[in-house]
Structure 1
Amino acid sequence: MSGNCVFCKIVQGEIPAVKLYEDDEIVAFFDISQVTKGHALVIPKAHHADIFSLPEKTAATLFAAVPKLASALKAEFAPAGMNILNNNGEAAGQTVFHYHLHLLPRYGETGLYGSLWKEATVGTPDMESLQASAEKIKMNF
């Protein structure tokens, strides 16, 4: 765990999260910002700042879960498509320095390509709705 890392605090249970999947090495949960409906994050439980410090075994476990999670999100939210996004380093737009993948269901909206975080958010999520969706996603995973 790294001192003030928000994702480490989620892993430790110090900050609540609506979890979609969890095993010994990784956890997936809804992003509180919900840039698009169903926006989820997949992170390693161990703190690794970026792809450059991510151990191969952890990467294999994390990336093996992504297609299953993407399919479960698709079954729940019926998006037209999905972006899988990862920023590494401040110059690439990384703001939380704990490795993470964004799964962004897409519904035909525009403006998400060059300025993803500035031009599109669906607003404050309804946590009860997210929790209900999480339960359905877990059944599809």
Structure 2
Amino acid sequence: MYDLPPEYGHAVHDVVREVAIAMRATYGCDGVSTRQHNEPGGQDVWHYHVHVFPRYDADNLYGSHPLPGYATSEQRWIYADQLRNYFDSAPRT
């Protein structure tokens, strides 16, 4: 983040916005949250990235505990396909 040229930061923000809009349109969520972390936090190679995740009323995101293990590929593909279909059908600007 500290060395990220402003034009790249703006480009990342533009993509984050597009993903947030796509999530609301495809997942029917009430909104989204974004997170960007720097330095300590489990990265093997520090790099700039932003998390975008759907939010639902009363989801208790910050008070809930994560489920054990990871979602299976089959579980993740459902959501990835929905976003892919959204972007495949979205008009290009």
Q: Which residue of 2 aligns with 1:120?
A: 66
SS of 2:2's partner is helix
Q: Residue 88 and residue 133 in structure 1: after superposition, are their counterparts in 2 closer, same or farther (change >3 A)?
A: same
Q: Distance in 1 between matches of 2:71 and 2:59?
A: 15
Say which of 1, 5, 17 aligns to 1:67. 17
Q: Distance in 1 between matches of 2:90 and 2:63?
A: 32
Q: Check conservation: 2:22, 2:83, Cα contact below 8 A.
A: no
Number of aligned pairs?
A: 85
- Write out the 4+ residue segments of structure 1 that deviate beyond 6 Å after TM superposition: none
Cα deviation for residue 58 of structure 1 reads 0.6
Q: Which residue of 1 aligns with 2:84?
A: 135
SS of 1:60's partner is helix
Say which of 50, 72, 81 aligns to 1:101. 50
Q: Which has the higher contact order (CA 8 A, sep 6+)?
A: 1
Q: Check conservation: 1:76, 1:136, Cα contact below 8 A.
A: no
CA-based RMSD of the aligned residues comes to 2.6
Q: Distance in 1 between matches of 2:36 and 2:17?
A: 15
Structure with more of its chain in helix, by fraction: 2
Structure with more of its chain in strand, by fraction: 1
Q: Structure 2: which 5+ residue stretches go unaligned?
A: none
- 1:90-140 residue CA offsets vs partner (Å, 9 max, x unmatched): 0xx352522100001012322x3278xxx2257324254244213222124
Letter in 1 for 2:8: T
Q: Residue 125 and residue 82 in structure 1: after superposition, are their counterparts in 2 closer, same or farther (change >3 A)?
A: farther
Does structure 1 residue 89 correspond to structure 2 residue 39? yes
Q: Which has the larger radius of gyration?
A: 2
Q: Residue 95 and residue 113 in structure 1: after superposition, are their counterparts in 2 closer, same or farther (change >3 A)?
A: farther
Q: Structure 1: which 5+ residue stretches go unaligned?
A: 1-50
